[in-house]
Amino acid sequence: MKISVVIPTLNEEANIQNTIKMIPDYVDEIIVVDSGSTDMTQAKAERSGATFYYAADIRSELGDALGKGENLWKSQFVASGDIIVYLDADLFNISPEFIDKLVEPLIKQTNTKFVKSYFDRSHTPYGGRVTELTAKPMLNIFYPQLSQIHQPLSGQVACYAEILQHLKYPQDYGVEVSHLIDIYHSFGIDAIDQVFLGRIVHRNRNLESLKPTATSVANIIVDKAYEHGHIKTKLVENINYRNPAALKI
């Protein structure tokens, strides 16, 4: 099967070349989808052999928004792989084994639909602050089976393209937990595999900058809980999901 690696970026000149360099040769295409970087991300990505797109330029008639979810959604119009690997650009110690471990369960295990990574962070064996204080407690309330997912917000995932095309894409940082819940709801917990990537060194954000991320994650979990009938009142309005039906145009 053809494999595409998709890297969403915004001003990632410091590490984008290292990320691309560590992607194995068997990967068929490396696609960088960017939110509008003002640094050298484009030049360095292209110099390293990736195909670079600004999200705003992909199907511009569908509009544009700033956010990781938007980048991942727009990537589906340009990625041709049967298997899509999403990979963050700020992992400073990435190795080729990351891709190996993410892809292998999809190829070898017929029941696996979605592969989620987990890892030791550079300063702790636990997940990040938003993971431990927002995502996990809320998932335990509404989706208790997902409590076995070690790092529900990990951006290193692999999935079949035909499945990703049917998922909703919130435009911002809630995209990882949104996809996890949707995969679980559609296929069950046994369709989700987890792979350990070892110790990860990546950019650490201050508490103030994490507030929008935590808010997005909380809003998505509550909205999904309403959608799936776990709560009876719609508590969250105005979440901007990208419509997967547009992919069929």
| pLDDT, tens digit (0-9, with 9 covering 90-100), for 47-74 | 999 999 999 999 999 999 999 999 999 9
In this predicted structure, what is the pLDDT of residue 171? 87
Percent of the chain with pLDDT over 90: 82
In this predicted structure, what is the pLDDT of residue 249? 35
In this predicted structure, what is the pLDDT of residue 246? 57
210 in a domain, yes or no?
Answer: no
184: containing domain: 3-126+150-203
What pTM was computed for the model? 0.93
76 in a domain, yes or no?
Answer: yes
Number of structural domains the chain divides into: 1
pLDDT at 18 over 70: yes
State both tokens at 67.
């956010």
CATH code (residue 106): 3.90.550.10
In this predicted structure, what is the pLDDT of residue 244? 67
Calculate the CA dihedral of residues 78, 113, 147, 210 and round it to 10 degrees: -10
228 in a domain, yes or no?
Answer: no
145 in a domain, yes or no?
Answer: no
pLDDT at 30 over 80: yes
Q: To 5 degrees, how large is the angle CA 3–CA 153–CA 23?
A: 30
Q: What is the mean pLDDT of residues 202-223?
A: 85
225 in a domain, yes or no?
Answer: no
- Among the listed ranges 2-16, 173-187, 189-203, which one has the minimum average pLDDT value? 189-203
27 in a domain, yes or no?
Answer: yes
101 in a domain, yes or no?
Answer: yes
| pLDDT, tens digit (0-9, with 9 covering 90-100), for 153-195 | 999 999 999 999 999 999 888 999 999 999 999 999 999 999 9
114 in a domain, yes or no?
Answer: yes
Percent of the chain with pLDDT over 70: 93
Average pLDDT, the chain: 92
